[in-house]
């Protein structure tokens, strides 16, 4: 896949295009991308995804402190590489860009700069100023500018509505298993291992504190999770806690992310690490004392090992 940061230099044969943010590159997105590839093959063209960065809601101040993204641009690009697309065009999103109508955007960018011959859109996709570019409007533009257009129907899923918003909601409630089913991949984030209080070491459960690489990346709800940790080109099984550690910390606003690795014993401070969520074990709890906390951690470890046995991950990959 060729990544284009300068649209003025874009070149492709009969570009077949889809447009969107594609945050998460979830199963619904992949359904659209499948249709995009099929249309490109049918029309002897080249599959082209056009996306915007930064996310429009962050530029238009349509976010609150809880709005986070499922992907960094690097993560999104990596997933799209696996989808077999030929081109990815990244258009910088600005306030002036946001004032373009859907037909202006098509005329100036998709037809004028990319040379689009065919457009593939999701069943509920809208773009342009105030999101006025629905499918009927886009068909009018297609007739005016001479390109084909097709609408992809919704993807049926027994895990619920397949959308970036629904996946964010599941993650923010801690339901990583359902989020993963809608994504088609295990949700993950990257960060750096930082120093902590070393309390875990004193009770036989050493942990690595993690500082996420990106503040805008969504971190799932507080609780204890079964995870895989990728570090130093190896993958380790682990259990991870997100929260304020109420048994030993009186400040509920002082939150940490810390992972206990089942298969590793060593110094990993300042190392980059990537955490992959598999399942949620329980809510974070306040225990009466350190001894009760340790007893629960023993149970958590057994439950974590049971998840790995059930999922066929008895041994670290």
- 111 has a pLDDT exceeding 70: yes
Tokens of 45: 């063209």
In a domain, 164, yes or no: no
- 145 plus 193 within the same structural domain: no
Give pTM, 2 decimals: 0.92
State how far the Cα of 104 lies from the Cα of 56, in Å rounded to an integer. Answer: 17
Strands 208-212 and 256-261: antiparallel
Tokens of 29: 């997105």
CB-neighbour burial class of residue 282 (10 A; exposed 0-12, middle 13-18, buried 19+) = middle
In a domain, 5, yes or no: no
In a domain, 122, yes or no: yes
- 20 plus 137 within the same structural domain: yes
Last residue of a domain, one of 104, 136, 152: 152
In a domain, 22, yes or no: yes
Last residue of a domain, one of 152, 177, 199: 152
Give residue 300's pLDDT: 97
- 106 plus 220 within the same structural domain: no
Give residue 317's pLDDT: 45
State how far the Cα of 161 lies from the Cα of 63, in Å rounded to an integer. Answer: 22
- 81 plus 192 within the same structural domain: no
In a domain, 113, yes or no: yes
Query: Tens digits of per-residue pLDDT, 288-301?
Result: 999 999 999 999 99
| Structural domain range at position 94 | 13-152
Task: Please compute the mean of the pLDDT values over residues 74-100 and round it to a whole number.
Answer: 95
Query: Tens digits of per-residue pLDDT, 34-71?
Result: 999 999 999 999 999 999 999 988 888 776 667 899 99
In a domain, 315, yes or no: no
Number of domains forming the structure of the chain: 2
Give residue 314's pLDDT: 57
- 26 plus 148 within the same structural domain: yes
- 146 plus 191 within the same structural domain: no
Query: Tens digits of per-residue pLDDT, 196-205?
Result: 666 777 788 9
In a domain, 171, yes or no: no
Q: Are 87 and 15 in contact (CB under 8 A)?
A: yes
Give residue 195's pLDDT: 75
Give residue 266's pLDDT: 79
Last residue of a domain, one of 152, 175, 205: 152
Higher pLDDT, 201 or 120: 120
Using 50, 70 and 90 to split pLDDT, how confident is the model at 156?
A: confident
Please state whether 184 falls in left (phi above 0), alpha (psi between -120 and 50) or beta.
left
- 8 has a pLDDT exceeding 80: yes
- 230 plus 106 within the same structural domain: no
Using 50, 70 and 90 to split pLDDT, how confident is the model at 234?
A: very high
- 112 plus 223 within the same structural domain: no
- 127 plus 64 within the same structural domain: yes
Domain containing residue 208: CATH number: 2.40.30.30
In a domain, 263, yes or no: yes
Long-range contacts formed by 251-259: CB under 8 A, 24+ apart: 255/222, 256/196, 256/209, 257/191, 257/209, 257/210, 257/211, 257/212, 257/219, 258/196, 258/200, 258/207, 258/208, 258/209, 258/210, 259/207, 259/208, 259/210, 259/227, 259/229
State how far the Cα of 317 lies from the Cα of 315, in Å rounded to an integer. Answer: 6
Domain containing residue 104: CATH number: 3.40.50.620
- 216 plus 295 within the same structural domain: yes
- 208 has a pLDDT exceeding 70: yes
Task: Please compute the mean of the pLDDT values over residues 226-253 and round it to a whole number.
Answer: 91
- 144 plus 192 within the same structural domain: no
State how far the Cα of 190 lies from the Cα of 138, in Å rounded to an integer. Answer: 38
Task: Please compute the mean of the pLDDT values over residues 218-239 and round it to a whole number.
Answer: 96
Using 50, 70 and 90 to split pLDDT, how confident is the model at 248?
A: confident
- 146 plus 223 within the same structural domain: no
Secondary structure letter of residue 73 according to DSSP: H
Using 50, 70 and 90 to split pLDDT, how confident is the model at 72?
A: very high
Query: Tens digits of per-residue pLDDT, 122-147?
Result: 988 888 887 888 899 999 999 999 99
- 85 has a pLDDT exceeding 60: yes
């Amino acid at each position: 896949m060729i990544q284009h940061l300068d649209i003025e230099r874009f070149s492709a044969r009969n570009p077949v295009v889809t447009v969107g943010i594609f945050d998460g590159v979830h199963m619904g997105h992949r359904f659209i991308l499948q249709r995009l590839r099929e249309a490109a093959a049918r029309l002897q063209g080249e599959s082209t995804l056009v996306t915007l960065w930064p996310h429009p809601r962050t530029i238009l101040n349509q976010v609150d402190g809880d709005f986070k993204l499922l992907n960094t641009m690097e993560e999104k690009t990596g997933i799209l590489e696996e989808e077999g697309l030929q081109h990815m065009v990244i258009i910088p999103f600005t306030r002036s860009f946001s004032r373009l109508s859907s037909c202006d955007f098509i005329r100036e960018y998709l037809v004028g700069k990319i040379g689009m011959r065919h457009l593939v859109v999701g069943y509920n996709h809208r773009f342009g100023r105030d999101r006025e570019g629905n499918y009927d409007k886009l068909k009018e533009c297609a007739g005016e500018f001479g390109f084909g257009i097709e609408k992809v129907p919704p993807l049926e899923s027994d895990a619920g509505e397949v959308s970036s918003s629904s996946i964010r909601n599941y993650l923010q409630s801690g339901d990583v298993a359902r989020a993963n089913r809608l994504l088609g991949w295990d949700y993950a984030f990257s960060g750096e291992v930082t120093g902590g209080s070393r309390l875990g070491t004193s009770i036989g459960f050493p942990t690595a504190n993690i500082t996420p690489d990106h503040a805008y990346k969504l971190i799932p709800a507080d609780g204890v999770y079964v995870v895989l940790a990728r570090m130093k080109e190896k993958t380790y099984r682990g259990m991870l806690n997100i929260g304020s550690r109420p048994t030993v910390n009186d400040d509920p606003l002082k939150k940490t992310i810390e992972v206990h690795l089942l298969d590793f014993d060593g110094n990993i401070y300042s190392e980059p690490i990537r955490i992959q969520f598999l399942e949620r074990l329980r809510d974070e709890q306040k225990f009466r004392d350190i001894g009760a906390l340790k007893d629960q951690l023993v149970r958590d470890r057994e439950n974590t090992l049971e998840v790995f046995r059930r999922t066929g991950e008895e041994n670290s990959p």
